[in-house]
Structure 1
Amino acid sequence: MNIFTEFRHRVIKAVNALEIRSRDGGELDFSKLGIEPPRDPAHGDIATNAALVLSKQTGIAPRELGERLAAVLAKDDDVSTAELAGPGFVNLRLADGFWFKLLVRMLAAGADFGRSAMGDGKSVNVEYVSANPTGPMHVGHCRGAVVGDALANLLAFAGYEVVKEYYINDAGAQIDVLARSVMLRYREALGEDIGAIPEGLYPGEYLVPVGEALAREFGSELSEMPQDEALAIVRDRSIEAMMSLIREDLTALNVHHDVFFSERSLHEDGARRIRTAINELTLNGHVYKGTLPPPKGQLPEDWEDREQTLFRSTAVGDDIDRPLVKSDGTYTYFAADVAYFIDKYKRGYNEMIYVLGADHGGYVKRLEALARAVSGGRVTLAVLLCQLVKLFRAGEPVRMSKRSGQFITLRDVVDEVGRDPVRFMMLYRKNSEPLDFDFAKVTEQSKDNPVFYVQYASARCHSIFRQAAEQFGKEMSADPEKIHLLTDETEIALIRKLAEYPRVVEAAAQSHEPHRIAFYLYDVASVFHAHWNKGTDNPDLRFVKVNDTDLTRARLCLVQGVLNVLRSGLAIVGADSPAEMR
């Protein structure tokens, strides 16, 4: 129900009615034909560049072609005016009758209004969060969690088959540090005075319950075992406890994954899966033995001035070739990434999306190169980098969490301000831009607080239905047959704004920008509240018109349309559409 897609077909039909051909006598190319809202609403409802993009093909001057096209489009029953503007743009103003019919279609679609088939059932894997299981999630993870989850919701709404995935980084040195840190808390639980936490171990109080659980389960048995055996047991229990903690934090944020993939599984059986992955790359000519020149600036951890096993990533778009096996025979971290990507590829995804922190910017080119090498370009890979979140309280920086001892946890933020404000505000700026999150502002009940303003619009919609029931009886409801009674300019403007929703959904899904949904919802709320305010000054414009049942039923259609869009958009964001504000 994307009116811009619909009018693209109408414009093409109008061009064909002109019976013009390209200079070489062939078919016209409409690939660059644009249909969009004019920048200035005063210019109309729809603008097209058709005359401009077809001028070179046909040899007809843009304004001449635009005049001819406007004359044909003006005959469309749904077009009120078709006017030439600028160098050759054609601006269309649509008839009120078109908006009435569209609102009827919106109401008939209900919760499916805005849903798109553009994904055509293609399978997409969205990997996000993927925090090290070494403690509670911090606020930096929060942004990636919300962006990834909302993007997955958006893509599903746009017709893709989406799998939400979490990559558990449960291998490597940080897990050994976790095990030794928990072992210390275990000894503390047995009554030992452990003193200050040694530098290099995790000091957070969140590890105390893990140590206590081990003491209950094993008594003093672990302290009597050889250290390697004891740490192996502690490592497993610690990862399990940390992932349980992380899942609880994610649930509090309304984030749920379909798949939790363990990095440790790639290292099992002598790292068989990593070896197999490298062998597959080798057979396809993407691996060689060689040395790398020292990179400029600070040397990365995996650089060695010796012969190594290297991924020929420069042949597929990377800046430098990447080490897979070090000179001592151990695998690099990227080698596990290779095995993980190949595992995903064999699961049959058409597209893979990684939502990573800004500190992972150096991974983008190597992952893109890996996708080209493994899939031969058949798989699309995209990486979204989330910039830092800075926390404030009434303008003052917030720096410390009592729970972690080092950082502000995700749960600290959710517990204080609520899930919905966190999710909405994490999307109220593009992920590639830094975000300032002020505890005071996100709980403020004003227009300056976007999440409140949007949810207040939802509550107002419900309030209007309650008022109508009180005034006319519980049987009072919206009646699409009365929609033609909507004649005020702001009523039509509200329908226009609702009509943009399918286009916003498709554009946001195509660009992987879920923040567009949050921005759009705020715009809908603004237009809705503006019309409500007009009714405050002019009783004739109120949604519930006393002594006029038909007009009230017509206006309830408008309210229902607003409510449907708010519910749908907020569901993509991952927030509620409340019936009342508390």
Structure 2
Amino acid sequence: MNIFDDFHARIVAILDRIADDGRLPELDYARFVVEPPKDAALGDLASNAAMVFAKEAKPHFASPRELAVEICFALAETENVASAEVAGPGFINIRLKPQIFADVLRAALNDPQNFGRVGKGRARALQGMVNVEYVSANPTGPMHVGHGRGAVFGDALASLLAFSGCEVTREYYINDAGAQVDVLARSAYLRYREALGEAITIPEGLYPGDYLKPVGAALAKAHGDALAGAPESEWLPIVRAAAIDAMMDLIRDDLAALNITHETFFSERALHAKKDGVSAIDAAIEWLRAKGLVYEGRLPPPKGQLPEDWEDREQTLFRSTQFGDDVDRALKKSDGSPTYFAADIAYHKDKIDRGFDTLVDVWGADHGGYVKRMTAAVAALSNTRATLDVKLCQLVKLMRAGEPVKMSKRAGDFVTLRDVVDEVGVDAVRFMMLYRKNDAPLDFDLAKVIEQSKDNPVFYVQYAHARGKSALRQALAAFPDLDLSTTSLAAADFALLADEGELALARIIAQYPRVIEAAAAAHEPHRVAFYLHELASVFHSHWNRGKDQPQLRFVKADERDLTIARVALVSSLIVVLGSGLRLLGVSAPDEMR
């Protein structure tokens, strides 16, 4: 039950009637919103409809305020509206009758698993089949904290989209082609020789971490000293394959520690593999060429100081400027091999060929300059049918009590994600990674995220859930025969809830469906984390009022009906907190130690 959608539809119906009278043209109703007012004292809902359509309303309405007055007059005649008033130049503020919030609470209690879901098929109609590709870390070592942010973001977004009715695939792109995996293989080869008893030194440019020692030991066990004297051309493919497999096992274990899994793992090497002499990359380039989107030409020199490796030469180019990019992009290197961009084109063509309508790529912030060209490629490959939304995750600065955390001995040059999870727990990592917008830098303090205080957001939200559960236990102690099932509590007399703190709690619970829909549409799971923290704050504030005013406590041993109504309100809170935390991949504890 989404009261914001309901009132959006009511205003649309009013505008349609005005249009039928010939006083308004056809309008784009997606342009106006119904939302909570910035100041709760102004009402329960607010809309900018009259302001948005002020231009179209002329000459029949001289000002947006005139249109707002007519809308308010009509709204006041509809069900469950206490008042509808015009504010300022034409904003609409609506006060609702308490009955509508009682209906919301009953909806949450009667169907707790589905409360907040977007209308069946609606999100799917808007976004179609969705592919969320996230993490996609190079398989060259254990995951670091920066990878963890993208992993948590992508996983929560996929859950949010699935909850909203989309058909979602979670995908990991394995960057197992190119120079970095050859560096990995050479590093593992040194560990292989070390396992055979040779003293080694790790030269600069190779991976120094101890995590490759087990790879070297496994190679020594499998091959003995057979690889030790072989030329690189013989041992490199063997060691590379073994090292990549070992690193992917390590990465899967790191992800599992965060309760993250993927349905699809896609290998970059598969794009380079030849079938009948043609690779998937070759085929993608020729597909674009047949569309007139590939040509042989020269690029202008980059602005500013020229890089040392820049060449003024004829190249195979993609017409990315035709789709909004700043410059056309090279598809082949000077030696004739494909560029990374060409491989990415082939990969995204594969996604489109698999039927995905919406592609979400979760990248590190250092890839920001790559967004325009990839967006252009997806538009070209899909004839603008598919959309690409690239979500950039900013860096994570790891602290302990305000001081930077030292590097990990196991990884060699960074702190591993697994070390952080083992120290502070899955819940703290996941919630705090989502408690900032993905494109904002994040300071992650290992000491603060395990504090049991209101300054620790994850504790604050989980404590609200545990407090709610304790209220239910208190109610059962006072009334042992009380049926605490949600369907039974849905029959409570919510008209008994008269205190402003109780009504404020009901109002914010009613916002949950709107938050879910908006977060799914914008691909922003942090909105759910922000909302849960706000909900917890409203609940804790009301709970604390009960410490000083016993008449406000949720359990009144001498007032059964009032207790049932208040416990039903708390149970609705528990439904929403549990639902939101599940979407974020965070536990909802019944008790806090």
Note whether the superposition's TM-score is higher than 0.5: yes
Alignment of 1:311 onto 2:313: no
CA distance in 2, matches of 1:425, 1:484: 38
CA distance in 1, matches of 2:134, 2:309: 25
2:359 aligns with one of 334, 337, 352: 352
Equivalent residue, structure 2, for 1:516: 527
C-alpha separation between the residues in 2 aligned to 1:131 and 1:162? 21
CA contact (8 A) 2:173 2:267 kept: yes
Q: Per-residue displacement from partner, 1:365-410 (whole Å, max 9, x unpaired)?
A: 1101101111111111111111111111111111311211100111
For 1:91, the equivalent position in structure 2 comes to 93
Q: Which moved more, 1:547-556 or 1:526-535?
A: 547-556
Partner residue, 1:12: 12
Amino acid at match of 1:291: R
TM-score, scaled relative to structure 1: 0.96
TM-score normalised by structure 2 residue count = 0.94
The equivalences for 1:152-551 within 5 A come to 152-194=158-200, 196-269=201-274, 272-297=279-304, 303-473=310-480, 475-477=482-484, 478-551=489-562
Structure 2 spans left out of the alignment, 5+ residues = none
Tell me the number of residue pairs that the alignment of Structure 1 and Structure 2 aligns: 580
Amino acid at match of 2:69: E
Distance 1:27 1:352 in 2: 32
8 Å Cα contact 2:492/2:561 also seen in 1? no
SS at match of 2:31: coil
Instruction: Give, in whole Å, the separation in 2 of the partners of 1:378 and 1:314.
Output: 18
* C-alpha deviation, 1:249, in angstroms: 0.3
User: How far off is 1:422 after superposition?
Assistant: 0.6
Partner Cα distance (1:358, 1:19) in 2: 47
Deviation of 1:259 after TM superposition, in Å, equals 0.6
Cα distance in 2 for residues equivalent to 1:51 and 1:75:
18
Query: What one-letter code is carried by the residue in structure 2 that aligns with 1:394?
Result: A
- In structure 1, the gaps of 5 or more residues are none
| Cα distance in 1 between the residues matched to 2:36 and 2:280 | 52
Distance in 1 separating the partners of 2:318 and 2:308: 16
- Bigger drift between 32-41 and 477-486 goes to 477-486
Contact map agreement 2:105 2:490 (CA 8 A) in 1? no
Deviation, structure 1 residue 29: 5.2
Deviation at 1:57, TM superposition (A): 3.1
Within 2, Cα distance between the matches of 1:72 and 1:2? 20
Cα distance in 1, alignment partners of residues 544 and 346 from structure 2 = 59
Of 121, 128, 135, the residue aligned with 2:141 is 135
SS at match of 1:112: coil
Distance 1:262 1:47 in 2: 49
Q: Cα gap change, 1:112/1:312 in structure 2, threshold over 3 Å: closer, same or farther?
A: same
Partner SS for 2:583? helix
Distance 1:358 1:493 in 2: 39
The residue identity in structure 2 corresponding to 1:531 is H
Inter-partner Cα distance in structure 2 for 1:365 and 1:19: 40
- 2: CA distance, partners of 1:259 / 1:574: 20
Deviation at 1:222, TM superposition (A): 1.9
Given that 2:157 and 2:523 are in contact with CA atoms closer than 8 Å, whether structure 1 keeps it comes out as yes
What SS does the corresponding residue of 1:481 show, helix, strand or coil? Answer: coil
Pairwise CA distance, 1:51? 3.0
CA-CA distance at 1:318 after TM superposition: 1.1
Distance 2:400 2:528 in 1: 26
1:36-80 superposed Cα distances (whole Å, 9 cap, x missing partner): 111111000111233334444342133333333322222234011
**Helix, strand or coil for the counterpart of 2:515?**
helix
- Which amino acid is the alignment partner of residue 361 of structure 2? Y
CA 1:258–1:302: 2 relative to 1, 3 Å = farther
**Aligned partner of 1:164: which letter?**
R
Q: In structure 1, what is the Cα distance between the partners aligned to 2:116 and 2:284? A: 41
2:124 is matched with 120
Equivalent residue number for residue 61 of structure 2: 60
Q: Which consecutive aligned stretches of 4+ in structure 1 deviate over 6 angstroms post-superposition?
A: none
- Change in Cα spacing, 1:190 to 1:27, as seen in structure 2 (3 Å) is closer
Distance in 2 (alpha carbons) for counterparts of 1:535 and 1:557: 17
The 1:302/1:559 distance shift into structure 2, 3 A limit, reads farther
Q: CA RMSD in A?
A: 1.8
Say which is worse superposed, 469-478 or 243-252, in terms of deviation: 469-478
SS of the aligned residue for 1:355 comes to: strand
Distance 2:56 2:108 in 1: 38
Q: Indicate how the Cα distance of structure 1 residues 554 and 55 shifts in structure 2: closer, same or farther if over 3 A, else same.
A: same
Structure 1 542/200 Cα, relative in aligned 2: closer, same or farther at 3 Å? same
1:44 aligns with 2:43: yes
**3-state SS in 2 of match to 1:342:** helix
Describe the shift of the 1:332–1:246 C-alpha distance in structure 2 as closer, same or farther (beyond 3 A): same
Q: Tell me whether 1:572 sits opposite 2:574 in the alignment.
A: no
Amino acid at match of 2:32: L
State the secondary structure of the residue aligned to 1:197. Answer: coil
Q: Does structure 1 conserve the Cα–Cα contact (< 8 Å) formed by 2:118 and 2:165?
A: yes
Aligned twin of 2:34: 35
The CA distance in 1 between the partners of 2:307 and 2:113, in whole Å, is: 50
Shift of residue 564 of structure 1? Answer: 0.9
Q: Give the residue type in structure 2 aligned to 1:6.
A: D
How far apart, in 2, do the equivalents of 1:288 and 1:474 lie?
A: 79
The alignment partner of 2:392 has SS state of: strand
Distance 2:389 2:310 in 1: 26
Q: Give the letter aligned to residue 502 of structure 2.
A: E
On the 8 A contact 1:115/1:502 being kept in 2, the answer is yes
